Structure 1
Amino acid sequence: MTTLDEIDRRLLVELQRDAAQSLEALGAAVNLSRNACWRRIRTLEKAGIIKGRVTLLNAAKLGLGLSVFIQVRTNAHAPDWLEKFSKATQSMPEILGVYRMTGDLDYLIRARVADMAGYDQLYQDLIRRVPLSDVSASFVMEEIKETTQLPL
């Protein structure tokens, strides 16, 4: 882990809030010059702390109104199955996150689709690509909180 000072933390908070801010605005927010701000950002990128900068989109306004969590259990735990599963899920744009879990559940998939027909298409595509023992889904009725901001 890289040691961050208070200015680095404030800079990261600002970037998480709005990565499109100008260097002048960022510098003013953290009390640094434009150049000092730029150098710190480059250092944080080189250290791998800043992985990238993205634009967050409104999924519902883009016709992707259904958020789903897919619970997967499998009897296959061989490295070749995991590689096939990993490649399949990574190549499917509807799948936003895939997590290997502890406990009764093997994998949890977070996906975004237009509607139930979109989910069914995603499900059919997934089981066609990789054998799964048990698949169940939970559909989000209301998003109470969703953020990409890490607590710093």
Structure 2
Amino acid sequence: MVFIQVRLDDTAPHIFERFSQAISQAPEVLECHMVIGGFDYLVKARIADMSLFQDFLERVILPLPGVGETHTYASVADVKPDALLPI
């Protein structure tokens, strides 16, 4: 599992829309959140190994218009897995 912070260097509305549409089509992507802070999107993806991750980054993320910077964090342990909220 990897988490990728994506910062766009072009914040025109059509760039955000194109990024959202493209990332939604990537089967490796489990979740993608638009966030406020030092970057624009947090992408959660399931990638089998770092070689495939490099391919994913070069094939899917980096070619998208407006992508200025990425930071990647690989998960080494699932400390608290998804849990149902009590209702």
TM-score relative to the length of structure 1? 0.53
Structure 1 unmatched ranges of 5 or more: 1-66
Assess if the C-alpha contact under 8 Å between 1:88 and 1:130 holds in 2: no
Q: Which has the higher contact order (CA 8 A, sep 6+)?
A: 2
RMSD across aligned positions (CA): 1.3
Q: Please name the residue that 1:95 is paired with.
A: 29
How many Å separate the matches in 2 of 1:122 and 1:148? 28
How many Å separate the matches in 2 of 1:80 and 1:72? 16
Q: Would you say 1:117 and 2:51 are equivalent positions?
A: yes
1:106 to 13, 34, 40: 40
Q: Please name the residue that 2:18 is paired with.
A: 84
2:71 to 136, 141, 151: 136
Moved over 2 A (4+): none
Compare the two structures and name the one with the higher helix fraction.
Answer: 1
How many Å separate the matches in 2 of 1:82 and 1:117? 28
Assess if the C-alpha contact under 8 Å between 2:8 and 2:67 holds in 1: yes
The 1:151–1:105 alpha-carbon spacing in structure 2 relative to 1, beyond 3 Å, is farther
Task: Report the identity percentage.
Answer: 31
Greater mean alpha carbon deviation, residues 129-138 or residues 67-76:
129-138
How many Å separate the matches in 2 of 1:145 and 1:107? 22
Assess if the C-alpha contact under 8 Å between 1:73 and 1:106 holds in 2: yes
TM-score relative to the length of structure 2? 0.89
Compare the two structures and name the one with the higher strand fraction.
Answer: 2
How many Å separate the matches in 2 of 1:127 and 1:146? 29
Structure 2 unmatched ranges of 5 or more: none
Structure with larger Rg:
1
Opposite residue 63 of structure 2, the aligned amino acid is R
Q: 1:70 deviation in Å?
A: 0.1
How many Å separate the matches in 1 of 2:83 and 2:25? 22
Q: 1:148 deviation in Å?
A: 4.9
Q: 1:105 deviation in Å?
A: 1.9
Q: Please name the residue that 1:40 is paired with.
A: none
Question: How many residues were matched structurally?
Answer: 86
How many Å separate the matches in 2 of 1:131 and 1:77? 7
Opposite residue 55 of structure 2, the aligned amino acid is Q
